[in-house]
Amino acid sequence: MAALASSGRTSRKLNLAPYLFLIVPLLLFLMWVIGPLFYSFYLSLTDWDGVSAPTFIGFRNYVRLFDDPIFYTSLLNNVKWLVSFITAPVIMGLALAMILNRDIPGARAIKAAFYSPYILSLVVVGLIFGWMYHPAGGLLNGTLQALGLKSLTPGWLSDPALATWCIIAAAIWRQVGYIMTLYLAGLQGVDPSLVDASRVDGANSWQAFRHVILPLLSPVTVVVVVVSVIDSLRSFDLVFVMTRGGPANASSVLANFMYIEAFNNYKMGYGAAIAVILFLISAVFIFIYLWRTLSTELEY
């Protein structure tokens, strides 16, 4: 009996070990994520310049925010980023994955070439495309001039109608290889016998893709869409490096707008209110992803 009691105490001590190992990461998570999150909510209700003591003003920052035309411009640009990111990179990445999933000569080198832009820092990508879009010595206008199309050489980043789309194009160039890699990983889980069976039943290549491969890739597609949405909402680096939100705030996004208000204009409370709105928008998509993931897990 004494031996059994001793083993019971030992097992209870051993059961505490996983929780003890979790204490440090949980403390760090609370300190660096949860704490700043709630503090940002508090700051959004204050008037603070980053130096003096914060003054509580309630929801005035939010009232001012929804009367600010720059906020609506930034929000609209984020919508442009979102729509672009869940269409162009996803379609191109899936198409490349389908092509490169076959045994073709040089497939590995081609995969590496398409994935390599994702390794580059966003700052580096911004500098490269900033040079390409330069109105005088840039690659695009230089090529157009060499082709005798001087009349078609706009100021890519100085035109309010083009600036946002030029930055999005640079982001898509970087994102496609990453999406391709995710779909290549998903294609490894597709059973070739199912595709062969559909061919035996008379399905052509498009029908096999539409009715067999694409449904089997749906878990990967959910991940791809959610990642693309989050990346589009937190777009900051390229905008800041290439235009800083210009010209005349035409290419501003919420993250860039938040940074300028908080750290350039020293309106920390107002910047925190923008951050809260951005967090709430992101949380909607994160919740949808978690709900979809948990419901799928419960089915099994």
Tens place of pLDDT per residue across the chain (300 aa): 555 455 555 545 557 777 888 898 999 999 998 999 999 999 999 999 988 999 999 999 999 999 999 999 999 999 999 999 999 999 999 999 999 988 888 888 999 999 999 999 999 999 999 999 998 888 888 888 888 887 778 889 999 999 999 999 999 999 999 999 999 999 988 888 888 888 888 888 888 888 889 999 988 988 898 888 888 888 899 999 999 999 999 999 999 999 999 999 999 999 999 999 999 998 888 888 778 777 766 665
Query: 245 with 238: CB under 8 angstroms?
Result: no
Strand-pairing partners, residue 292, are: none
Q: How far is CA 255 from CA 174, 187, 204, 232, 259, in A?
A: 19, 35, 46, 10, 6
E strands, the chain, where? Answer: 46-47, 55-56
Nearest to 170 by CA among 73, 251, 260, 289: 251
Domains and CATH numbers, the chain: 68-266 (1.10.3720.10)
